[in-house]
Amino acid sequence: MVAIIVHGGAGTIKKEDRIPRVIEGVRDAVLAGWRELKRGSALDAVEEAVKALEDNPIFNAGTGSVLTLDGKVEMDAAIMRGKTLEAGAVAGIWGVRNPISVARKVMEKTDHVILSGEGAVKFARLMGFEEYDPRTDERLKQWEELKKKLLETGEVKHWKKLGELIKGYPEVLRSTVGAVAFDGDEVVAGTSTGGIFLKMFGRVGDTPIIGGGTYANEVAGASCTGLGEVAIKLALAKSATDFVRLGMNAQAASDAAISLATKYFGADTMGIIMVDSRGNIGFTKNTKHMSYAFIKDGMNEPQAGV
Ligand code: ASP
């Protein structure tokens, strides 16, 4: 039994006319992963699915990443192999097209788990990743508007109104991407993001934190999306796999993980996708939307939705 699921981020898609494009994006990505999975590797499947999402400017990862308070792109990504617990991640990286591929190189070519900032960029260049500007005109325009609004409130210093501001623009905040796949032998999970719009320079979210936003072991894998600070504090991706270890299937474990997020931090905070090592798929959110697509043995077509 082989299976793969991807997400394109949890939150509210305010402009509903974007939904068909989002669904097309997750469907294309899951099919890119599925092709690799059919060749036998969950690792390649997760990398290819996440790359397809990073390359699609509608999602907040790779090309189309949101901008920091000071107008830069600082991307996070992680990948983890469930069988060996090998993991690689980059935090606050810029100037590359596919952070997930750099994360894979960290896993395969270094003794470390996470490389950040300048060091991550330096490592990417050593590995042959070319200079690339992931900013899009649409994101720059959104950044100008958000920054102007933020300045008008006069609260930049204390950040008091930032929460309110974010509520007005939820669709630009959360559209991180992720993939989890099982190839019949191992589960692999990967996540990639531009983070949260107007995040402070240097802020690292849950995505590259092993156990926070991304985790895989021999029983299951999970990729989270939503407010990174919530997933970090609950070690949510790892907790979700613990639920599988205790006997739940991927769907029950996803539900339990999101209940935990709602209990401690309220609704409209998190979404998760999972695959367990029996090939079961799970996905849950406490936000209005979370785009997803999955396909497994026995299905002719992916199932996708928000
Ligand atoms: N979890 C991501 C972060 O906090 C954001 C998202 O899922 O959209 O960086």
pLDDT tens profile 33-91: 999 999 999 999 999 999 999 999 999 999 999 998 888 999 999 999 999 999 999 99
Q: Which parts are annotated binding residues for substrate?
A: 203-206, 225-228
Supply the pLDDT for residue 100: 98
For the beta carbon of residue 14, count every other beta carbon within 10 angstroms: 13
Residue 91 main-chain phi, psi, to 5 deg: -130, 135
Q: Which atom number of ligand 1 is nearest to the Cα of residue 226?
A: 7
**Cα of 44 vs its chain's centroid, Å:** 17
Radius of gyration of the chain from Cα atoms? 18
Supply the pLDDT for residue 238: 98
Distance 112 CA to ligand 1 centre (A): 23
Alpha-helical runs (H) found in 67-135:
99-109, 117-126
Name the residue with the closest Cα to ligand 1, atom 9.
195
Residue 124 main-chain phi, psi, to 5 deg: -60, -45
37 contacts 186 by C-beta, under 8 angstroms: no
Question: Would you call 176 a catalytic residue per the annotation?
Answer: yes
- Both ends of the chain: CA-CA distance in Å? 25
Supply the pLDDT for residue 258: 98
Distance 289 CA to ligand 1 centre (A): 14
Distance 194 CA to ligand 1 centre (A): 8
The single residue of 84, 136, 153, 176 carrying the catalytic annotation is: 176
Q: Residue ranges of the chain with pLDDT lower than 50? A: 156-158, 172
Which residues form the pocket of ligand 1, taking CB atoms under 6 Å from any ligand atom? Answer: 9, 60, 174-176, 193, 195-196, 205-207, 213, 225-228
What is the homologous superfamily of the domain 3-85+137-305 according to CATH? (Glycosyl)asparaginase (3.60.20.30)
Tokens representing 59 are 């999602």
Pocket of ligand 1, candidates 177, 191, 193, 204: which has the most ligand atoms within 8 Å of its Cβ, to mutate?
193
Residues near 161 by Cβ (< 8 Å), separated by ≥ 6?
150, 153, 155
Supply the pLDDT for residue 172: 47
Supply the pLDDT for residue 164: 63
| Rounded-to-integer distance, Cα 25 and Cα 61, Å | 13
Rounded-to-10 torsion of CA 164, 168, 173, 178: 110
Residues near 280 by Cβ (< 8 Å), separated by ≥ 6?
3, 249, 250, 251
CA distances from 132 to 73, 79, 93, 121 (A): 11, 21, 11, 11
Supply the pLDDT for residue 158: 43
Distance 213 CA to ligand 1 centre (A): 8
Q: Which pTM does this prediction carry?
A: 0.92
Name the residue with the closest Cα to ligand 1, atom 7.
225
CA distances from 223 to 133, 208, 210 (A): 26, 10, 10
Pocket of ligand 1, candidates 227, 234, 291: which has the most ligand atoms within 8 Å of its Cβ, to mutate?
227
Q: Which parts are annotated binding residues?
A: 203-206, 225-228
What is the residue extent of each domain of the chain?
Answer: 3-85+137-305
3-state secondary structure of 260: helix
If you ran DSSP here, which 8-state letter would residue 17 be given? G
Pocket of ligand 1, candidates 90, 198, 215, 225: which has the most ligand atoms within 8 Å of its Cβ, to mutate?
225
